[in-house]
Amino acid sequence: MNKRTVAVMFGGQSSEHEVSCVSATTVISNINTNLFEVVIIGITKDGRWLKVSSVEDIKSGEWKNSKTTAIISPDATQKAVLLIEGNKVVTEKIDVVFPVLHGLYGEDGTVQGLLELAKIPYVGCGVVASGVSMDKLFTKIIVDTLGIRQANYVAVNKKELEQINKVIEKIEQKLDYPVFIKPSNAGSSRGVSKAHNRDELITGLRAAAEHDRKILVEETINGREIECAVLGGNEPKASGVGEIIAAADFYDYDAKYNNEASKTILSPDLPSSTVEKIRDYAVKIFKAVDGYGLSRVDFFVDKVTGDVIFNEINTLPGFTSISMYPMLWEAKGIGKPQLIDKLIQLAFARVAESGGEADGQ
């Protein structure tokens, strides 16, 4: 059987650039090289697309010194990456793309749109699912239609901050302190803060505005942070659940990636009915946003009432050593190599289902 070529994309211009680099090393190291040739494409923070030689170059950061530009052609007749060095251009055919890109300009439908134009199968959710799931405000609007409880919130536009007193009044009329402030489009808790008073709220709003023009201010939920992984196409399946024990006041970027006291617990002590409700909700939300391939769906379980409260959905969750998505499937007996192969096969399957020819065989 001839090997197919998978292009793994990583890095990107989002605030999650560094996390993407780590996730990519995990994905690349677990691709079945008996089945696939691997082409690695790194995107720098300033938006340069480069051919990368090895996982070792990603780990060392040497990849950013590559002299070869690597651009996926939008020309559907090519289905290729263009390798450019000086005046020399080489076309390398690719069969599927694994965009290990977190956050803006990667997880938000932009790269997915390019790959749709190029008619190249790709791992993960499509343009619509990626876009609405990346935008926390749109996700809330969709989940409202399902009757699943989520935190009360106030939406703020960056332009409104020019009249900050009106914004504060709008928020304080609906929500009590403390509140959480989040950019509508950001990941890994970038730009997220907790405000206990008006001064902290103003500071938090301005910090969030550095990441997006749309901002969400949410009520604080006194809850345990529970995550569930979803895998599949038209009949997606939910994993078990895992719990995040944050070392900080909340699970911000530093607590996730820099504080070793933060912990992830598989099979946390929860009533079986609560676990099943979370798994059911995770699949319902995944389907509602038109998800395909994979997502991690995050919830709170109220510490007093035990209510399940939706938090957010991530359509390209992390694949680092501390990432819950692969750990949840490993707990179900699906190791990283098998999981990654399944995700690639799902990319081919989606094309076949939509009338294309790619079936991954």
pTM: 0.90
CA 125 – CA 325 distance, rounded (Å): 15
Sign of CA dihedral 281, 287, 290, 296: positive
Q: Which domains does the chain have, with CATH numbers?
A: 4-124 (3.40.50.20), 133-149+222-315 (3.30.470.20), 153-219 (3.30.1490.20)
pLDDT at 356: 62
Predicted pLDDT at 310: 97
Q: How many residues does the chain have?
A: 361
pLDDT digits (tens, 9 = 90+) for 240-283: 999 998 765 554 445 454 445 568 899 899 999 999 999 999 99
Instruction: Taking residues 206-221, report their average pLDDT.
Output: 93
Q: Are 315 and 133 in contact (CB under 8 A)?
A: yes
pLDDT at 254: 52
pLDDT single digits (tens) 177-203: 999 999 988 655 678 999 999 999 999
Instruction: Please give the helix or strand (H or E) that residue 112 lies within, else none.
Output: helix 110-118
* Residue 87 Cα distances to 41, 49, 83, 304, angstroms: 20, 16, 11, 66
Tell me the pLDDT tens digit for each residue of 93-142. Answer: 999 999 999 988 999 999 999 999 999 999 999 999 999 999 999 999 99
Residue 359: the pLDDT is 39
Q: According to the model, what pLDDT value does residue 322 have? A: 86
What pLDDT sits at residue 353? 86
Q: What is the pLDDT of residue 232?
A: 98
Q: 314 pairs with which residues across the strands?
A: 296
Q: Is the pLDDT of residue 320 over 80?
A: yes
Q: Which pLDDT belongs to residue 269?
A: 95
What distance separates the 2 farthest-apart alpha carbons in the chain? 66
CA 49 from chain centre, in angstroms, equals: 20
Region 319-342 average pLDDT: 95
Collapse the DSSP code of 98 into the 3-class scheme (helix H, G, I; strand E, B; otherwise coil) and give the result: strand
As a whole number of angstroms, the distance between CA 312 and CA 135 comes to: 10
Q: For the chain, give the percent of residues with pLDDT over 90.
A: 85
What single-letter amino acid sits at 329? W
**pLDDT at 263 (0 to 100):** 82
Checking if the pLDDT of 74 tops 90, the result is: yes
Q: What is the pLDDT of residue 132?
A: 96
Q: Answer whether residue 56 shows pLDDT above 50.
A: yes
346 by Cβ neighbours in 10 Å (0-12 / 13-18 / 19+) ranks as: buried
> What is the pLDDT, as a whole number, of residue 260?
59
What are residue 171's phi and psi, to 5 degrees?
Answer: -70, -45
Tokens 């749709």 found at: 116
Q: Can you tell me the distance from the alpha carbon of 360 to that of 349, in angstroms, rounded to the nearest whole number?
A: 7
Q: How confident is the model over 300-325, as a mean pLDDT?
A: 95
Under 8 Å between Cβ of 30 and 41? no
> Where residue 360 falls among pLDDT bands split at 50, 70, 90?
very low
97 vs 211 pLDDT, higher one: 97
